[in-house]
Amino acid sequence: MTESESVANAEDGTKIETTAFDPRILVFTCNWCSYAGADLAGTSRLQHPPNARLVRTMCSGRIDPVFVLEALRDGADGVIITGCHPGDCHYVKGNFRAEKRFNFLKMALKQLGVEEDRVRLAWVSAGEGEKFSLLIKDMTDKVRELGPNPFKPASVKSI
C-alpha cells in the first residue's frame, strides 16, 4: 500500500489535499501454526487491514535477523515474526531459536537507530485466527503512529 491522497475541507470550505500514511507490514509465518492461523483468519472472514504481506517459512527459527533488516531496508515499515507457541514447535526448539535471534535483532535495531516497535515476535497457533487478525490490526496502528520507515528508499511506492 502506498501513501494515498485524500481531500479534506478547510475551515473556510476550501478543499485541501492531505496524505494518509498506509504502512507496509511484512509477516514471516511458520508453516505449521502461524500460517494456518492466518488462513483461519481468512476463512473465518475476520477483518484486518490489508497492509500485511505474508512470507511462509517452515519454522520461525529459520528467520535470520538479516532477513528483517533487509525487509526494512527494502521498504517495509514494520515486520512481524510469528511462530508456534513455546513447547509446540514441530522442529522442537525452532521457536526458542527465533526468540534468541529476535532479542539480538532488537539490540541491532537499537544500534541502527530504528524504533524497536517496528518489529514484533508473536506466537500464533493454527486455531488462533482471531489473535492473528488482532495482531495485524495492532501492528498496523503502531506503525502508523511511528510513521514511515526512515530507511525506506524513495523509489519504493507499493508492495
Number of H helices, E strands in the chain: 4, 6
pLDDT of residue 157: 58
With a cut of 80, say whether residue 15 has pLDDT above it. no
* Beta carbons of 30 and 94 less than 8 angstroms apart: yes
Residue 148 pLDDT class (50, 70, 90 cuts): very high
Residue 146 grid cell:
511511528
List the domains of the chain with CATH numbers: 24-145 (3.40.50.960)
Q: What is the pLDDT of residues 57-89, one digit of tens each?
A: 999 999 999 999 999 999 999 999 999 999 999
- Residues contacting residue 69 through CB under 8 Å, at least 6 positions apart: 105, 108, 112
With a cut of 90, say whether residue 12 has pLDDT above it. no
- Residues contacting residue 75 through CB under 8 Å, at least 6 positions apart: 24, 149, 152, 153, 156, 159
Of 73, 130, 120, give the one whose Cα is nearest residue 98: 120
Q: What is the pLDDT of residues 44-54, one digit of tens each?
A: 999 999 999 99
pLDDT of residue 146: 95
The DSSP-derived string for 57-110 is ES-GGG--HHHHHHHHHTT-SEEEEEEPPTT--TTSSHHHHHHHHHHHHHHHHH
What does the mean pLDDT of the chain come to? 89
With a cut of 70, say whether residue 5 has pLDDT above it. no
